Every structure is written in structure tokens, then in C-alpha cells.
């Protein structure tokens, strides 16, 4: 149970700040004495947090599915010739800055959540794909041979031996991708998506440092909570799967 204490504590703190930010008004008033309004009120922080998190979760799910599937395909005998192509396609997502992706996507998809989702998916592919390739390529060949000797089919070897052993590395790639996208999602506020970037953008436009701090604190805390959650999941994966248990 101790392994879950850090993410649970951070999640409770994140929720408490999202709901109770007005309680800190005296502190922000002290930091920004020249502003009459120091608590961002255009949208509730809890709503912005939920929408921000939804964008990250959806993009991470799509990106992880595509990247892991691409990594599996590129490490199979029938797909090894496509390994350079798969890597290059995934690299495109991080070659173009998210702002450039938004500039290209908005004329096609319009304003709102759709363009930032496209940007987040493309931007998050490379870390997951790299780790998937590294994890699968790092599986000891003797494990595969032992699995074949037990009469396992290629599919059984993949799901019962290779993926359990590579899972820790793949999870680390997803962890990196999600953490990056939590910060990147904030720029969605510039094209009409409702995210925790809203108070940051509003603060920059109006010269209100208190708004900027409120958005930045919640984004940072969300990133810490997510990172802590993935750390717990990686530890559990290590305990559950081992070379002996996989075969």
C-alpha cells in the first residue's frame, strides 16, 4: 500500500487546490497588490483540470496504441525492413513544434480540442516507440527459444513472454510522453481548447502574475501526480513480472 501513498497524496492535493484556490486569495493579493482580481474566475479550475486531463489521456491512449503496435510490427521478421521507416515517421512528430502542428491543423479542424489532440498524439509518439523497440529488442533470445521449446505460438510468445519483459521499458516511454504532453497541452488554450493554460494565457495578456502562477502550479502538480503514478505502476510491474514468471 505504501507504493500508492505519493500519487494519492499528490492527487488529493491537486484536487484540493483546484477546488479551494479562492482560499489562497490573500496570498495572491500580496503577490499582486496592483490587481483587484487575483483569482482566475472565467472557468472553474476543476473544469479546466478535467478537460486538460481528458486531452492528455485520449492523446496518450491513441499514441500508445499506435506506437506500441508500430514497435511490435517493426520487430517481427515480416516488418524488420520497415524499421527505419517506422522510426522516421514517429520522429516527424517531434521534428515539428506543437505550435507549427496547431497552425497547420486549425484551418482544417477548426478551433477547439481537435487540433491540440492531433499535436499531442504526434508529439508523444517518439518516446513510446523508442522504448517499445528498445524493450522488445532487449528481451533475452534464450527466453524466446525457451518459449518456442514449450510449444508457444508467435502470438503467445509476444503476449506471454516478450511484452511482460519489455513492459517496464514501454511504461517508462509512456511516462515520458504523458509528462511532456501535460505541459504541451497548455498551448491548446491559444486556439480555444479549455485547459489549465487558460489562466496562464490570461495572466500573460493582462499582466496578472497571480493568474500565471495558478495555472502553472496546477500544471506542475498534475505532472508530478502523473509521474508518481507511473512510478508506482513500474514498481508493481517489476514485482509481478520476471524472466522466470514470463516463461
Query: How far, in Å, CA of 173 to CA of 25, rounded?
Result: 39
pTM equals 0.89
**pLDDT tens, 126-146?**
889 989 988 888 888 888 888
Q: Is 173 exposed, middle or buried (0-12, 13-18, 19+ CB in 10 A)?
A: buried
Containing 107, the helix (H) or strand (E) segment is: helix 98-109
Q: Please state the φ and ψ torsions of residue 76, each to the nearest 5 degrees.
A: -85, 155
pLDDT at site 244:
46
Cα within 13 Å of Cα(116), Cβ side: 27
80-84-87-88 Cα dihedral, nearest 10 degrees: -150
Q: Do the beta carbons of residue 219 and residue 182 sit within 8 Å?
A: yes
Helices (H), 138-242: 141-149, 154-157, 163-184, 197-206, 209-240
**pLDDT tens, 46-96?**
999 999 999 999 999 999 999 999 899 988 888 778 877 777 776 666 676
Average pLDDT, the chain: 88
- What percent of the chain stands above pLDDT 70? 94
Mean pLDDT within 201-221: 93
pLDDT at site 219:
96
Mean pLDDT within 220-224: 95
Number of neighbouring beta carbons within 10 Å of residue 155: 8
Identify the CATH homologous superfamily for domain 2-246. MetI-like (1.10.3720.10)
pLDDT at site 67:
92
Amino acid at each position: 500500500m505504501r507504493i500508492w501513498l505519493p500519487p494519492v497524496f499528490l492527487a488529493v492535493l491537486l484536487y484540493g487546490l483546484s477546488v479551494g484556490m479562492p482560499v489562497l486569495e490573500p496570498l495572491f493579493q500580496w503577490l499582486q497588490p496592483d490587481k483587484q482580481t487575483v483569482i482566475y474566475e472565467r472557468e472553474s479550475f476543476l473544469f479546466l483540470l478535467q478537460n486538460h486531463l481528458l486531452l492528455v489521456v485520449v492523446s496518450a491512449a491513441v499514441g500508445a496504441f499506435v506506437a506500441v503496435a508500430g514497435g511490435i510490427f517493426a520487430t517481427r521478421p515480416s516488418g524488420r525492413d520497415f524499421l527505419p521507416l517506422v522510426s522516421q515517421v514517429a520522429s516527424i512528430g517531434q521534428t515539428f513544434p506543437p505550435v507549427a502542428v496547431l497552425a497547420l491543423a486549425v484551418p482544417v479542424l477548426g478551433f477547439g480540442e481537435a487540433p491540440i489532440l492531433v499535436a499531442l498524439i504526434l508529439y508523444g509518439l517518439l518516446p513510446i516507440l523508442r522504448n517499445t523497440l528498445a524493450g522488445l529488442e532487449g528481451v533475452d533470445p534464450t527466453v524466446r527459444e525457451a518459449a518456442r521449446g514449450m510449444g508457444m505460438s508467435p502470438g503467445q510468445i509476444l503476449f506471454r513472454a516478450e511484452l511482460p519483459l519489455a513492459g517496464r521499458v514501454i511504461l517508462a516511454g509512456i511516462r515520458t510522453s504523458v509528462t511532456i504532453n501535460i505541459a504541451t497541452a497548455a498551448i491548446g488554450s491559444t486556439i480555444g481548447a479549455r485547459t489549465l493554460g487558460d489562466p496562464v494565457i490570461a495572466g500573460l495578456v493582462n499582466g496578472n502574475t497571480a493568474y500565471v502562477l495558478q495555472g502553472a502550479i496546477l500544471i506542475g502538480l498534475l505532472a508530478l501526480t502523473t509521474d508518481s503514478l507511473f512510478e508506482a505502476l513500474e514498481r508493481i510491474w517489476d514485482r509481478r513480472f520476471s524472466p522466470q514468471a514470463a516463461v
